[in-house]
A and B are shown apart, each in its own frame.
Chain A
């Protein structure tokens, strides 16, 4: 039971009992307590997420059907109806936002890593991107209202797309910058040693090598944008109608299909969750479930690409 008084003579005589795990020893006790605490903290952090998912599944699944997914929102007292136009609208607005923000973000990232890493422009762009990631999303809506809605005179899908693009650009830019930086310098050197021009180095080596990680950033940005409500409230607004009734998937076919108020899942949830009518409230739950599933899918795609790029 007694430990050797001389602590330096570790090997002289081993007291077997002292090797056994015992919570009475302060060091062991501390280690155990801290491990338990981290476990508890993890549970506490995940609890809200899972309770939200549980709630959504419980309330939303009941209303989920082919009809809900494919019909127009019901009028105030009417039964039935669905969220079809809001699903299409969300995809259209997010697609417009992606078309604007993805090329812009990736090209800017290529510029600041490959061509001007130490210039003032690069530092300014990087700073601006970091500030923009913290931009309250409603301000993106205000900006798009002033720039697009006020000049075109219409609430429209492109206005919503501009607002969401403003939120996506910094995410795409910063993750693409990281992805490009992670391409090993020796691959860059190999390409230059082969006689590749700077453009060829970027297009043939840097972008293909960093592509999975760049796509991860794009997917995360898309997932975030799809869930935003505030920027759409006074840009895309909402609509109770299809963008086009003649297209088989109800996608817009003409400019005038685009240039009018457009429904989205996020705004539908916002509108219907405050409704006094049970049918609309039930639809809001279903829409929330569908939106979360869409966001999750994009997140999962993004994460799995990230996993592949680190191989």
Chain B
């Protein structure tokens, strides 16, 4: 069979080349590039005591945690870009064990957190919340005092409400001075659920708080604590002396506990 004559024409060759057509880059290209350049984060869906969460991580650490909802990945990706100014892409590989452990409620100590988008004050508040052990709670005012801004109780509250890494930074362990659990990014009842999953007893704490008790003293050691210092079991010990204020405890000759620094 004779070849079409036109093929021998150089012009026809260049024409055919021009029509060879464009190809589209695979959708995996841009995410891989941006991730390798450190300009995009990765996220996983991980089970937690509150159900599945989206957990994003970048080169500087964990960057955003939100509740996963059916079909909610695009909402998450949009919120991520809006807050952090860079894209986030679903992970190809499973989450690191340390991340999964932390989300499940075990220690988050090994993790790094990317708090670059926050003010110094906000990040100081969140880092302070990290010091509260599981199974214990602290009042908002305690956070404010501990970071040297005792007057900024409300501001500390809103910094906690804006926590980009709920669960991993345990803002749920910060409660109202009167023992009520207070607000939470995922709602008050989620906060109770979470506290209970850590062994805390929000009901017992509320009951104590509503009776006016703010501190508990130890008769034998002559020191006084925030009610949940050392765990909630201290609420039930018989040798505890209730105080309505720090000054009352001090006047009775009790010294502030060095662990929970009740009158810091």
| Co-assembled chains A and B | no
